[in-house]
Amino acid sequence: MTIESISDLAQECYLRDDFTKHGQAQQAITDYNWVKENILYRCPHWGVPGETLVRKSGHCGAKAELLGELLELHGMKVRYIEGRPLSGNLPIARIALFQVHFWLEVEIGGKWLILDPTPDRGITHFLGDTEPGYHLGNPTYIARWNRLPSWFKKAYNHPLIYPLRWATNIKLDLQRRRRIS
């Protein structure tokens, strides 16, 4: 099956009609693993989740937004979280506006499970790794939203930020190459 849209992806990842706590947890982890392993962590233009799927790359917010859309298509309630766990490893993290990190939480059985799909397999040695229930670093929570704020996307996509995103992508690619060799 060719995955061309988020609804195609939802069908591809769909396990079964099991709305128990255990069934929802399995579905959430399946969706999380797909996004984490199939969408590279990079810093491209931040558009809509469908663009992240087509590009097969996105930064923490774009990957969280894609995962959130997927979970919502599977009938789960999500919220997006902003925190400040980033280190100085990435050039873009040195700018105050970008010293943030996004992930999400999904409600399962009345409790919120942390899902941070940011690091792909190629850069876990550089950024660290995550698994359901854990996120990168030890974040300070800043805010929780039902949707990520559009003002943040606009600031991230500003032309003056292009060189920083470009430099960050080069650094990430170099780290991936080091991992392979």
Domain boundaries, the chain: 6-180
How far apart, in Å, do the first and last CA atoms of the chain sit? 32
DSSP 87: -
User: Is the distance from CB of 139 to CB of 101 less than 8 angstroms?
Assistant: yes
Which one, of 96, 144, 113, 104, lies nearest residue 21 by Cα? 113
Neighbouring CB atoms inside 10 A of 141's CB total: 10
7-16, 93-102, 118-127: least confidently modelled range: 93-102
User: Which neighbouring-strand residues pair with 143?
Assistant: 82
Q: With 70 as the cut, is the pLDDT of residue 85 above it? A: no
Would you place residue 77 in the very low, low, confident or very high pLDDT band (cuts 50, 70, 90)?
very high
pTM of the model: 0.77
Name the architecture of domain 6-180. Answer: Roll (3.10)
Collect all residues with Cβ–Cβ distance below 8 Å to 8 and sequence separation of at least 6: 1, 2
> What was the pLDDT predicted at 88?
52
User: Is the distance from CB of 175 to CB of 89 less than 8 angstroms?
Assistant: no
CA 33/CA 35 separation, integer angstroms: 6
CA 105/CA 64 separation, integer angstroms: 9
What is the dihedral angle through the alpha carbons of 120, 31, 9, 18, rounded to the nearest 10 degrees?
170
CA 86/CA 160 separation, integer angstroms: 21
User: Is the distance from CB of 175 to CB of 125 less than 8 angstroms?
Assistant: yes
> What was the pLDDT predicted at 35?
92
User: Is the distance from CB of 117 to CB of 35 less than 8 angstroms?
Assistant: yes
